[in-house]
Amino acid sequence: MPGNIPDEIWLFRIVHIDNLPFLLERGMFASTHPDKDPDYVFIGDTKLTEQRRHYPIPLEGRGHIGEYVAFYFGHLSPMLYNIHTGYRGIVQRPQSDIVYICCTLGTIEAANCNYLFTDGHAKQRITQFYKDKSDLEQVDWDIVYQKYWRNDEEDRDRMRRKQAELLVKGHVPVSCIDRLVVFDDESKHAVSPILEKLGLNLDIYVNPKGKFYY
């Protein structure tokens, strides 16, 4: 069931390390945006992503999921697990290639970004969409932070709720990025020169408390 809303709401987006030079210079773009990275290295479920591009948001005038940049409210997503293991036919990649882009809802709002959010995976039929910040209480804040999210006899809806999303229309500017999280020190050494070249003063955290990677 939904828990208490955190005082500070963090947002997490996982990307391939090769995408950093573009997105740290120009920001993050929705998959249907004309200014998106033409060389974007895709790491997710190709079939699901294509379905999301055209999946209508059940709120008047809000368009399709493909028009939004998606973030999770929690880390250790099922998608990262699938990327790590190659489960369900997803291209298997080392976790050292995967970087977390971390923002807060506060910075998204400060940038006047148009956003909405869900109480679970956005492509699931029973998932509810919201645009009023007061409805953040509908997110299951206990499960989004949990490491173990598999459905079982006691809870057959756990995995959907774990994947609650915040969706930002069109573009997320670089100013919204608060920090980066990487898998290991080698990954940090690969990312640091990118920040230096762009003159960005962003902290890079290596798998804090061992809670961001499988």
- Ligand-binding site membership of 126 (annotated): no
Catalytic residue check, 160: no
- Ligand-binding site membership of 13 (annotated): yes
Cα-based angle 207, 210, 214 (whole degrees, multiple of 5): 90
Backbone angles phi, psi at 125, to 5 degrees: -60, -35
Q: Is 144 exposed, middle or buried (0-12, 13-18, 19+ CB in 10 A)?
A: buried
Q: Record the tokens describing residue 40, joined without a space.
A: 């974007």
Catalytic residue check, 52: yes
Q: What separation in angstroms does the CA of 91 have from each of 38, 51, 81, 83?
A: 20, 18, 11, 6
Tell me which of 53, 165, 186, 196 is the catalytic residue.
165
Tell me which of 26, 52, 109, 186 is the catalytic residue.
52
Determine the Cα–Cα distance for residues 43 and 124; give it in Å rounded to an integer: 20
- Ligand-binding site membership of 41 (annotated): no
- Ligand-binding site membership of 53 (annotated): no
Active site residues: 52, 165
Annotated binding-site positions for NAD(+): 13-15, 52
Annotated binding-site positions: 13-15, 52
